[in-house]
Amino acid sequence: MAVPIAVLDCDLLLYGRGHRTLDRFKLEDVTDEYLVSTYGFPRQFICYLVDLLGATLSRPTQRSRAISPETQILAALGFYTSGSFQTRMGDAIGISQASMSRCVANVTEALVERASQFIHFPKDEATVQTLKDDFYGLAGMPGVLGVVDCTHVAIKAPNAEDLSYVNRKGLHSLNCLMVCDSRGVLLSAETHWPGSLPDCAVLEQATLTSQFETELHKDGWLLGDSSFLLRTWLMTPLHIPETPAEYRYNMAHSATHNIIERTFRTIRSRFRCLDGSKGTLQYSPEKSSHIILACCVLHNISLQHGLDVWSAPATGHMEQSEEEYEQMESVDSEACRVRQELLLTHFS
């Protein structure tokens, strides 16, 4: 009985069953320039990921031939940084498009498992104080623990007729809530919220809110734009500044908050799978959320390795906060008192 060629593994046709591990590509055989241009990262960074994820990616498999952790990581980096499963990417490391897809799934889950290791707020007092000092050095805004904003990442329409992912521009997306420090290091990343939710609703339901209201530092705050409600732990700009102190506050707030916008630009520039230039993420909302989070983990790891957060040019398109120009009025009298005290103490 003839076997349809469509069900055969392309890797099997090319390489046969001779080896259990397909070491098709060797880092030592290519230049640093090639690695950066093709996979987006230098050799040292890639070797670190192999050490970090190698044990997870070498888990027992039902397949007779396993793809090496090194090859899986190169395949995933190629997708994250190019946004494509192009044949030339698979050809470069000797695997099929189907295997490329499996590699991306494996590496993505391995990175998501380690998200809390690389994305978190500092806990010891000395590091928290350094965080505040670094923010204060930017524009004179005291007590800042992070800057927060949302950004939309386009995804394909879910199979079900689910309008919850349709944003105000009529596109399917995930609304991602993120916080970063003064260097662009992500301190929090929630990437799973449906695109129909406005920023203020995302924050209302986010883990971030419960953290700050129940356990995180009481002697500081986040900075958010006018799409969020003022809270005791979240300082927003004044809608209509009237006094010199209010103008100074708004200017310092804007200059400091701009860090998160620059961080978004850098992430979409480095990880082109998120910027929309190759189309939407062709996965379910859950898998798309995991890919975004995996890129956030890689973003932080890249900063740990001295890869300048601001070095990459802004390219492509990534949906920004849709409530950027909406003004939210707070009814929290205690939050208003905290902001007024901040104005009098530091900006008058």
Over the stretch 216-240, which tens digit does the pLDDT of each residue have? 556 899 999 999 999 999 999 999 9
Could you tell me if 243 and 262 lie in one domain? yes
Could you tell me if 158 and 191 lie in one domain? yes
Could you tell me if 268 and 339 lie in one domain? yes
Q: Is 86 domain-assigned? A: yes
Q: Is 85 domain-assigned? A: yes
Could you tell me if 157 and 40 lie in one domain? no
Could you tell me if 73 and 147 lie in one domain? no
Could you tell me if 126 and 152 lie in one domain? yes
Domain boundary among 98, 117, 136: 117
Q: Is 312 domain-assigned? A: no
Specify the pLDDT at position 20. 39
Which residue from 35, 32, 27 is spatially nearest to 81, judged by alpha carbons? 35
Specify the pLDDT at position 47. 94
Give the separation between CA 148 and CA 199, rounded to whole angstroms: 10
Q: Is 110 domain-assigned? A: yes
Could you tell me if 168 and 277 lie in one domain? yes
Give the separation between CA 101 and CA 153, rounded to whole angstroms: 20
What residues pair up with 231 in beta bridges, in sequence order?
A: 234
Q: How far is CA 302 from CA 142, 229, 270, in A?
A: 28, 33, 10
Could you tell me if 84 and 113 lie in one domain? yes
Read off the tokens for 314: 């802004």
- Mean pLDDT, range 89-106, rounded to an integer: 79
Give the separation between CA 118 and CA 49, rounded to whole angstroms: 13
Could you tell me if 146 and 111 lie in one domain? no
Which residue from 90, 15, 102 is spatially nearest to 57, judged by alpha carbons? 102
Domain boundary among 49, 84, 117: 117
Overall number of domains in the chain: 2
Specify the pLDDT at position 51. 96
Scored b (16 or more CB within 10 A) or e, 121-139 reads bbeeeeebeebbeebbebb
Q: Is 308 domain-assigned? A: no
Residue 117 pLDDT class (50, 70, 90 cuts): very high
Q: Is 36 domain-assigned? A: yes
Domain boundary among 117, 140, 159: 117
Out of 117-121, 228-232, 273-277, pick the least confident. Answer: 273-277
* Domain assignment of residue 43, given as a range: 32-58+66-117
Per-residue pLDDT tens over the stretch 295-327: 999 999 999 998 865 544 444 444 444 444 455
- Mean pLDDT, range 166-178, rounded to an integer: 94
Specify the pLDDT at position 54. 93
Average pLDDT, the chain: 84
Q: Is 186 domain-assigned? A: yes
pTM of the shown model? 0.86
Specify the pLDDT at position 162. 78
Which residue from 135, 124, 267 is spatially nearest to 189, judged by alpha carbons? 267
- Residue 142's identity, in one-letter code, is P
Say yes or no to pLDDT of 194 above 50: yes
Q: Is 104 domain-assigned? A: yes
Say yes or no to pLDDT of 87 above 80: no
Could you tell me if 127 and 96 lie in one domain? no
What residues pair up with 88 in beta bridges, in sequence order?
A: none
Could you tell me if 258 and 132 lie in one domain? yes
Could you tell me if 162 and 213 lie in one domain? yes
